Chains A and B, each alone.
Chain A
Amino acid sequence: MAPTLWVALLLYVLHQDIWFWRTARPLVFGFLPVGLAYHAGYTLVIAGVLAWLVRAYWPHHLEDGE
């Protein structure tokens, strides 16, 4: 479980982005302000990381209850 927690912590830190706080540009795809595009991309990254964690660190021992 420890790797899962470390990855969650790293992603949490990346959520607290201060780097695009006061700027709207560039507009990604011509209409998405960069701060919003960052968090949209960040959400996709979470899904990718979870896909890896689920493969690598799935708690198989809990399946005994099935």
Chain B
Amino acid sequence: MIPAAVIFGYLLIVLFIGITNRGGGDSDAEGYFVAGRALGPAVFLLSLVGTNMTAFSILGASGHAFANGIVTYGLMASASALIIPFGLFIIGTRLWSLGRRKGFMTPVQLFRDRWECGHIGTVIFIVQAVLLIPYIIIAVMGGGTTLSTVSNGAVPFWLGGAIVSLVVMGYVFFGGMRGTAWVNAFQTSLFLVFGAVAVTVIARGMGGFSGAIESLSAAPGGTALLTRERISPLYFFSYSFIPLSSLAFPHIGIFCMTAKKLGHFKKTIVLYPICMLLIWLPSVFLGVVANRATDVPAIQAKLEARATIAAHGPSLAPAEQASLRAKASGDDVILRLVEGYAPLWLAAILGAAVMAAVMASDSQILALSTMFTEDIFAFYGGKARFGGRVQIQTGRIFIILITLVAYAIALNTPQSIFDIATQYAFAGYSSLFPLLVAALFWRGSTRWGALATTLWTAAAVTAVAVVQQHIPAPPPGQAVTVLEIAGQVVVTRVVQGTLVFGLLPVVPMTLISAILMVVVSKLTPAAAPTRDTLATYFATTA
């Protein structure tokens, strides 16, 4: 029960930090939703890293590395370490400037102003909101699972999920953006410090990493985990489109408007890749070497399940295959390594660090609340009619409602569905990336181009979801043809998901989005914004 007690202590600290760092008065929307545009450089950096560090990225990364090897770092970390800070440099700084000059608090406010549209902005809001909700549900599930695991079942899943939801809701409700940013900064610091401790302790427990790598290299199939031969270069290339999503996420766009000075972006841009390295390299490396941690019973059981699938997979019943795949899943390998090699007190603190990653839904909840109150409530006259105090109250009620709905769905739906939905969301937001680029850099873009891009994204995400829901994944190495045109295979279903011409769907989705923006804008020049509007964007941002 010690780990559970430490995690409960950690939750109380987080709640305290969030509530005591509340920003703005009861009627100051800017203070509540964007921290009064006054975050300092350290909180801005650490909070931004923390916002992008979700349960999916940390636990999922080590699980992916456990099964696929070192390729995970190049797929997920170094591509993000390139694209996200460059995006902050080129796009984030412009969002900050526009937020200051025009008072924007959400990306939809920018789109409405830039393209002189109203209801098209509402359509963009709906698509953004729908793509964001799976993250919140996943976090509730992650919280329930983590608390249940570290307490050895003493805290049931439903209670763990409820506790985590209440804590996150509590500090987002009271603290707004300022409280949430401080909590994220604290969580990132915890992860950076104790991540290093975990690597040291596990290395010592395994008798050094050199021995583990040599032993893995000599084991059957081990070399594949130390190279990238399990993934094709085309797949690797496709994956580099995914980090574009991070720049299009509304919570990141909103966060860009919270810095006190533009200069605060400088350290964030330079240090972001280093933070990625410090967090992801240990996660991926530990995931890989876990394949030699055969003295940890839970990991040995995973390896045995994997070996059974490899040897007898095709002859097993589908239910048995699914059960073995669940047993072989590596999403908890870091927790298992810590459990196997770290002393109890350290395992408890590391459990809290993992909890920090699981609780990253706070930014998304706050973003949804900000979007609802600014893009819907205020836009359709609520703020003018009822005032700023009611606007913040509406945002807080929305936070409670979103949390309750996410909790209810989390209790009644299998997690696998939302794991998949989260993947769709990444592709969906990458596909919305051309909206940002066009709004900030292309004078010729029009609202109809923006609408075409948004509707295409919604349709494409739905189509991929339908394919994956109705066509079961074939065994590894095999492909099921879904669509063939004139003898040319276009869409296939493989174990990793759906492929279009051998590429992940995110590639055609993003490219077609960009093409639609260009073509439809060119076809609708009459919808171009007025010179006055364009002058406010391109006089200083060209």
Most buried by A among B74, B77, B96, B276: B74
Interface residues of A, Cβ cutoff 8 Å to B: 1, 4-5, 8, 11-12, 15-18, 20-24, 27, 30-33, 35-36, 39-40, 42-44, 46-47, 50-51, 53-54, 58-59, 61-66
The reply on B274 being an interface residue by CB < 8 A is yes
Name the distance in Å between A19's Cβ and chain B's nearest Cβ.
Answer: 11
Query: Given that A4-B90, A24-B227, A40-B281 are contacting pairs, would A62 and B262 also be in contact in the complex, using a CB cutoff of 8 Å?
Result: yes
The reply on B86 being an interface residue by CB < 8 A is yes
- A5 to B71: give the CA distance in the assembly, Å: 26
- B contact residues around A16 at 8 Å (CB): 233, 236-237, 240
- A11 to B79: give the CA distance in the assembly, Å: 10
Q: Nearest B residue to A63 by beta-carbon distance?
A: B262
The B70-87 residues at the A interface (CB cut-off 8 A) are 70-71, 73-74, 77-79, 81-82, 85-86
- Identify the stretch in B265-273, B342-350, B372-380, B461-469 within 8 Å (CB) of chain A at 4 or more residues: B265-273
CB <8 Å contact, A31 and B210: yes
CB-contact partner of A65 in B73, B100, B285, under 8 A: B100
The reply on B194 being an interface residue by CB < 8 A is no
CB-contact partner of A50 in B98, B100, B270, under 8 A: B270
Name the distance in Å between B87's Cβ and chain A's nearest Cβ.
Answer: 9
- B contact residues around A43 at 8 Å (CB): 77-78, 81, 273-274, 276-277
Query: Given that A43-B277, A62-B94, A62-B97 are contacting pairs, would A15 and B74 also be in contact in the complex, using a CB cutoff of 8 Å?
Result: yes
- A contact residues around B421 at 8 Å (CB): none
The reply on B186 being an interface residue by CB < 8 A is no
Q: Nearest A residue to B95 by beta-carbon distance?
A: A62
Name the distance in Å between A10's Cβ and chain B's nearest Cβ.
Answer: 11
- A33 to B70: give the CA distance in the assembly, Å: 8
CB <8 Å contact, B273 and A62: no
A to B CB contacts below 8 Å, 24 in the list: A4-B86, A4-B89, A5-B90, A21-B228, A24-B223, A31-B208, A31-B213, A35-B70, A35-B71, A36-B70, A36-B226, A40-B277, A43-B81, A43-B276, A46-B81, A46-B82, A47-B270, A62-B540, A63-B263, A64-B540, A65-B100, A65-B262, A66-B261, A66-B262
CB <8 Å contact, A33 and B269: no
